[in-house]
Amino acid sequence: MGRTLPSFMQVILSEQASLAKFRRALRFEDQSALDDLFRMAHYHAAESAYASHALPFEVMLLAMLLEEHKVVLRLQRQIERLELSGEST
């Protein structure tokens, strides 16, 4: 459709493309971790677009951080549960 500006999805893709060299130089196991980070940014594309931030890459970083933190919290809870069940047995 006739858009003047690229959508946030397109912005993510172009950022990803601009980091192609970085990705290429990474070791294979690191490459897939990098791809994961961009998936996280994708997941929050709607919220990021709504934010209308002048520097979209910063918002993408924040989205990655947010998802990372969710993982940390989840793992933390899981550890607590395991510890509790360990104590009870």
Binding site for another protein (CB under 8 A): 1, 3-5, 7, 36, 39-40, 42-47, 49-50, 52-54, 67, 70-71, 74, 78, 81, 85
Least distance to another protein from the beta carbon of 84, Å?
9
Q: Which residues have a Cβ under 8 Å from the Cβ of 41 and sit 6 or more positions away?
A: 12, 48, 60, 63, 64
Quick one: 19 or 71, whose CB is closer to another protein? 71
Quick one: 36 or 58, whose CB is closer to another protein? 36
Q: What is the spatial distance between Cα 23 and Cα 32, in angstroms, rounded to a whole number?
A: 9
